[in-house]
Amino acid sequence: FDEFNRISVEVLSVVSSQIKCIQEALRNDLTRFQFEGKEIAIKATTGIFITMNPGYAGRTELPDNLKALFRPVTMIVPDLQQICEIMLFSEGFNTAKQLAKKMTVLYKLAKEQLSKQYHYDFGLRALKSVLVMAGALKRGSPDLSEQIVLMRALRDMNLPKFVFDDVPLFLGLINDLFPGLECPRVRYPKLNDVVETDLAENGYRVMTGPSEQVDKVIQLYETMMTRHTTMVVGNTGGGKSVIINTLARAQTKMGRHTKLHIVNPKAQTVKELYGELDPETRDWTDGLLSNIFRELNRPLPPDKDECRYIVFDGDVDALWVENMNSVMDDNKLLTLPNGERIRLMDHCKLLYEVGDLQYASPATVSRCGMVYVDPKNLNYEPFIYKWCNGRTNQEEAGVLRSLFDKYIYKCVDFCLEGLDDDVITKSLVQTIPQTNLNLVTQLCNMLECLLTDERKITDSTILEAIFVFCIVWSVGATVVQKLGFFDRDRFDKFLKSKAGFSTAEGESVPASQLPARSLYEYCFDVEKAKWVTWKSFVTPLAPPEDGRFASILVPTVDTVRSSWLLDTFCGAGKPVLFVGDSGTAKTVTIAKYLMNLDATKNVILNMNFSSRTTSMDVQRSVEDIVEKRTKDTYGPAMGKRLILFFDDVNMPRVDLYGTQQPIALIKTLIERQGFYDRGKELNWKKMKDFFYVGAMGPPGGARNPVDPRFISLFNTFEIQFPNEDNLSTIYSSILKSHVIKLSSEIQSAAAGLTDVTLRLYNYILEKLPATPSRFHYIFNLRDLSRIYEGMMCSTDDKFKTMPDFIRLWRNEVLRILHDRLIDDNDKEVVLKKIRELVQEKYGAAADNILADPILFGDYLNAPKEVSGEEGVLRLYENVGTYADIKPLFEEILGVYNEKHKTMNLVFFEDALEHLTRIHRIIRLDQGNAMLVGVGGSGRQSLTRLAAFMEEFEVFQIEISKNYGKAEWNDDLRKIMKMAGEANKNTVFLFSDTQINHEFFVEDISNILNTAEVPNLMEPGDMVTIFENIRGRAKAAGMDGSKDLLTNFFISEVKRNLHLVICFSPVGDAFRERLRKF
């Protein structure tokens, strides 16, 4: 048994009893014996031998009862020099003794002196492949000196795997061992010519220097001659895919038809990759790789000469790749879980295209040939060369080439290295790490969007202005500007110094000059050929038709700019990724842009990622929305395009080996326009007319760093937190549009209120940061919005004077910013600042405004309403003191107890206050509450009473022993239908004691974010729902297509469903969940 300790510990203990049984039979000289309940024959010559590697990733330690059954034999590192000598003699070398010595010394020195890389291996397997190649060369040219033959083999077999900086070191070592020998690189006359013409035909720059692109193709070819498994390793942007594809095309042109079958091994689980045997029924489900492997290794027809390569384009980790060990070594066998064994044929080879081998074990690395493709060898000039040559208007391309020379090298160096001519400064802070090629690709993409063929711009001044504008939103697009980092200003200053134009102030600036203010504040209008401020695009706030607070979107410089960038790139079909902190309106801006697209031409699929999202969830969502067009082509209905919006892209859990499975699948989908079927068919499905938009927060906390190869597929923009001016614009315009209906005294007081609110907000951000014990002290723009939503509830009946209104403001600020605080010191920080601000700004009325208790609600008339009186008017107002409201609540409780199971509540002051707070939250649209307290503190009873006061339905799940996914989904459907279909205000009361499975929290997180749970509703459910809501949708102007009705249903759920989640602060579970979701 090879690789014995890759079996898991549980199975090994069963194996040990089986082996013991066989050994007993041998000891007793039996010819037949009982084994696993069957009688079988046994031969006296039976022996059991196992080989295994000691502990590293993916290996287990053998249990003691199993160790006792075997006699251990330790294999030591063999004498390499002797092996070399014997093999060289057998290959026909006469001076084998000296050569073997040189060879082993070279490998010893290389191991010690070169840098440490995951993909380096100087062991026996690497030696053997060199010896085999040296033998082939010796027989090919018998008259060459043996020294030169061996030197050539050593050089050509080792150089491909070295990183850029190790190449000169290794060549130095070889020259020391073989002094005075010069041996140029051998050219394959036919292959080299074909490769060079192929690269030229495809528009690539032909680079023939040592270790450059053509040489890498030849190195790959040579490595594949001696190894049947080769890894092409290197960071994104080095041209790995180009090298593999070029070799395949070149071999095809030379008469050996070569086909590549590309698989991303991490886009599905290991079981889906290799197949799965059901332990109960023994049913075999074929895996993706086992299916492809079996197909490709069928014998070739006699008259056909072809190569078939399986390319694994994705991360290598110890789990899936170790299962390939027996294929990659000399056994060439794939062993599947059902006992099937498939041999790797000579016409079939394995290729790995991977960023790094950080998680591969030494056993894997030593079995493969390595070709390292260093992005430093390629750099980004060839990309610019290819892009400029591909432009239809060559006069324009000529101007662009000179602009690339003038700007791009300096700007990229300044951004990534901090190089300003000869001065080294601090490099710019980027929101996520970008490579130089990513920046240049984004620049070219943006130029493509603006310099369309219809515009035919050749004027060099206008082209230069467009070029500078594009540099800002490509090279400078992910540069961060926030407290402590003013790197956008640095980049702006640097770019202007390199451009050398004069600058001018003003709302619009001609193309021959640059704006004096930051270039980030201006857009270059291609039609008018001048710079205009983003501010000039901002339209005044139009109050939403439905009057709901959640529908207000105040246009600001930030939203206008984001929408413009989104429209420019998405309209041209280029993937866009927004990166920015929580509350910077990424989702809102994207959602608004997508909503305003023509519904007859666009289908939109929103996906909210969380730590439990799997690649299967993503694939199901995509497959549900597309239609079959031809045999293997799918897409939205003909004439439409599908826009996929992934929110929180970096939330999915990272597995042990650094991969996020959903992202591996999306990478395949974007890069290769399709994915493999996950059912029985396992065929390739082509996806047509897909467009991609993503949003994510910067890595940190629960958000994970994302695969750079995935990021390189997108055009990335850092979305800024709105600056003070923009925040002021947003909130003062909301408040202004509301207080017009109130007295002039209130209007004049409200004018300075936004400034006061922002001062308080910034003070709290600074003084009360989140810490491990106060992990929920996260304040963002959503909190500011909630303060204003509360103030929008004021009416002229109840709020007549300035102190009334400012007192309402104080109440809202306390509810939002103070109610989550956990100790008196923190509370005092907030209370003290509020006192200070009120006395400074509204000193005359300060005593009235700061009087306690402060209780606001709309429940003064609630007792009449719950008793069944019609037409009761309920307005939000100051409800007075505890003594005023206690009798009200007692009366309401009496009515509640007549109708429901009796609750015995004593209304002490804290209970009255909590009840008022819960009631305030759930009476608002999209009002959801998280109540944190130990069990028995009245969280659920008070919520039930508050819901009863508003005449809301309360829904709570009933946990039983067998309550699982199916029951949970049924309950969620029930709640969704109550809120969305039956149009009932519903409170979903959920406690952490009911969390049987973590996916409950995941689904609740989805409902809070988007008001839907992926793949929850059956198609049949939706048909009935559509029938029942069509009348209401028509009235709201949303009747018509399936998409519009779905959107209406979701908006109704959002409006009517209120989640009240009760968590206990005891233990770590609460913190873990908040971090994940």
pLDDT digits (tens, 9 = 90+) for 610-667: 777 889 989 988 998 899 999 899 999 889 999 999 998 988 888 888 899 999 999 9
1003 contacts 617 by C-beta, under 8 angstroms: no
d(CA 28, CA 1070): 61
- 3-state SS string for 585-630: CHHHHHHHHHHCCCCCCEEEEEEECCCCCCHHHHHHHHHHHCEECC
d(CA 917, CA 935): 19
Q: What is the mean pLDDT of residues 120-139?
A: 88
Bridge partners (DSSP) of residue 608 are 647
3-state DSSP assignment of residue 750: helix
Q: Estimate to the nearest angstrom the gap between the alpha carbon of 112 and the chain centroid.
A: 39
Q: Kindly report the number of other CB atoms within 10 A of residue 679's CB atom.
A: 8
50 contacts 79 by C-beta, under 8 angstroms: no
Q: Where are the alpha helices (DSSP H) in 792-904?
A: 802-817, 824-841, 846-849, 862-866, 882-899
Indicate the residue type of 590: I
pLDDT at residue 685, rounded to an integer:
95
3-state DSSP assignment of residue 803: helix
pLDDT digits (tens, 9 = 90+) for 742-783: 999 999 999 999 999 999 999 998 899 888 888 888 888 889
Radius of gyration of the chain (CA): 35
pLDDT digits (tens, 9 = 90+) for 237-287: 889 999 999 999 999 999 999 999 999 999 999 999 999 988 888 899 999
The b-or-e profile of 38-74 (16+ CB within 10 A means b, else e) is eeeeeeeeeeeeeeebeeebbbbebeeebeeeeeeee
pLDDT digits (tens, 9 = 90+) for 816-849: 999 999 989 999 999 999 999 999 999 888 999 9
pLDDT digits (tens, 9 = 90+) for 349-401: 999 999 888 888 888 888 899 999 988 888 899 999 999 999 988 889 999 99
Query: Given the structure tokens 């055009």, which residue do they identify?
Result: 715
Indicate the residue type of 587: T
Tokens standing for residue 892 = 């309401």
- DSSP letter at 537? G
Q: What is the mean pLDDT of residues 190-214?
A: 91
d(CA 282, CA 294): 20
Question: How is 282-346 classified by DSSP, letter by letter?
Answer: --EE--HHHHHHHHHTSPPPTT--EEEEEEEES---HHHHHTTHHHHSTT-EEEPTTS-EEEPPT
d(CA 16, CA 436): 56
Residue 549 binned pLDDT confidence (cut-offs 50, 70, 90):
confident
The b-or-e profile of 230-251 (16+ CB within 10 A means b, else e) is bbbbbbbbbbbbbbbbbbbbbb
Tokens standing for residue 705 = 């760093």
Residue 561 binned pLDDT confidence (cut-offs 50, 70, 90):
very high
The b-or-e profile of 848-887 (16+ CB within 10 A means b, else e) is ebbeeebbbbbbbebbebbeeeeeeebebbbbeebeebee
Q: Where are the alpha helices (DSSP H) in 429-579?
A: 436-450, 460-472, 487-499, 557-571
Q: What is the mean pLDDT of residues 948-977?
A: 92
237 contacts 438 by C-beta, under 8 angstroms: yes
pLDDT at residue 516, rounded to an integer:
93
pLDDT at residue 438, rounded to an integer:
93
Q: What is the mean pLDDT of residues 299-310?
A: 90
Let me know how many helices (H) and strands (E) the chain has, helices first: 43, 35
Angle at 399 (CA atoms; ends 393, 404), nearest 5 degrees: 115
Indicate the residue type of 907: F
d(CA 38, CA 940): 60
| Helix/strand/coil percentages in the chain, nearest 5 | 50, 15, 40
Indicate the residue type of 429: V
Indicate the residue type of 777: Y
Mean confidence (pLDDT) of the chain? 90
The reply to whether the predicted model has a pTM over 0.85 is no
d(CA 950, CA 939): 17
Instruction: Please give the share of the chain, as a percent, with pLDDT higher than 70.
Output: 99
42 contacts 25 by C-beta, under 8 angstroms: yes
pLDDT digits (tens, 9 = 90+) for 698-756: 887 667 899 888 999 999 999 988 888 888 888 998 899 899 989 999 999 999 999 99
Indicate the residue type of 288: L
Indicate the residue type of 257: H
Instruction: Please give the share of the chain, as a percent, with pLDDT higher than 90.
Output: 57
d(CA 721, CA 1072): 27
Query: Given the structure tokens 């913190």, which residue do they identify?
Result: 1071
700: left (phi over 0), alpha (psi -120 to 50) or beta: left
Element of type H or E holding 145:
none
pLDDT at residue 341, rounded to an integer:
93
The b-or-e profile of 981-990 (16+ CB within 10 A means b, else e) is beeebbbbbb
Higher model confidence: residue 582 or residue 15? 15
pLDDT digits (tens, 9 = 90+) for 445-460: 999 999 988 888 888 9
Q: Kindly report the number of other CB atoms within 10 A of residue 669's CB atom.
A: 23
Tokens standing for residue 834 = 């509020």
Element of type H or E holding 67:
helix 64-67
Nearest to 1012 by CA among 1061, 977, 1037: 977
pLDDT at residue 702, rounded to an integer:
66
Tokens standing for residue 625 = 């929305």
63 contacts 9 by C-beta, under 8 angstroms: yes
Residue 75 binned pLDDT confidence (cut-offs 50, 70, 90):
confident
| Cis previous bond, 853, omega within 30 | yes
Q: What is the mean pLDDT of residues 481-501?
A: 88
pLDDT at residue 772, rounded to an integer:
83
Angle at 175 (CA atoms; ends 170, 180), nearest 5 degrees: 165
